[in-house]
Amino acid sequence: MAPVATVSAAIPASRLRGQHGRPDMVSVGTIIWLSSELMFFAALFAAYFTIRAAEVDLWAQETTHLNVPFAAANTTILVLSSFTCQMGVFAAERSAAKGGPKVGRSGSLLQVGEWGMREWFILTYLMGAVFMAGQALEYTELVHAGLTMQSSAYGSMFYLTTGFHGIHVAGGLIAFLLVLGRTYLARRFTHEQAVSAIVVSYYWHFVDVVWIGLFATIYLIM
């Protein structure tokens, strides 16, 4: 029995629901769902480029309202949050492999190397919240400059694409809160809980990659 337990503990939580090394169905289902979401954003990209090709002069005029350095800084925060999220996943897998209840830090808050999944996910949540606040600030400035959804075709596409992405970011933030809340309620941190953390990380990485594409399309290809 001991060798079997050792092998099970060594298998990453991303591949386990409990036995035989089979891919976890929750993870597989999430990947399939994210693929459908990718098609949705692909349609938004297609609509954006189609309207842009028909309104070249409008795009040249309206893009002057964009604050590219601010958007670049906000993008950097979101991209870095993917790294902190993944650090949390690594910590979750280590905790699940040990079968222990501890998912928080082992040392002081300043000892980043001793952080657990909880600290990394809290930091990721805060970075995501900062990104959302930055996007809200940008919307406010653009509205004051006269760029709204009703003002032009460009305004409609800008708010449609970035707005839907913002909804996805908000969904990710809620998911982080649910995972973090579960760590406070559970007595032990199991493989099943590690899978939940990993699934959330899949979603968050997806959100980040989509934003990189949106940032390049909206702010760089003007």
Tell me: the pLDDT tens digits for 145-155? Answer: 999 999 999 99
Is residue 58 over pLDDT 70? yes
Is residue 99 over pLDDT 70? no
DSSP letters, 141-157, are HHHHTT--TTT-HHHHH
Looking at per-residue pLDDT, the higher value among 20 and 217 belongs to 217
Tell me: the pLDDT tens digits for 178-199? Answer: 999 888 776 666 667 778 888 9
Q: Where are the domains of the chain?
A: 2-220
Tokens of 64: 């002057």
Angstrom distance (rounded) from CA 16 to CA 9:
10
So what's the pLDDT on residue 8?
38
* Backbone conformation region of residue 18, classed left if phi is above 0, alpha if psi is from -120 to 50, else beta: left
- At residue 44, what is the residue type? L
Is residue 162 over pLDDT 70? yes
Answer yes or no: are the C-beta atoms of 92 and 192 closer than 8 Å: no
CATH topology of domain 2-220: Four Helix Bundle (Hemerythrin (Met), subunit A) (1.20.120)
So what's the pLDDT on residue 95?
67
pTM of the model: 0.83
> Which residues, at least 6 apart from 124, have a Cβ–Cβ distance to it below 8 Å?
81, 84, 85, 88, 176, 204
Top mean pLDDT of 4-13, 29-38, 94-103, 179-188 is at 29-38
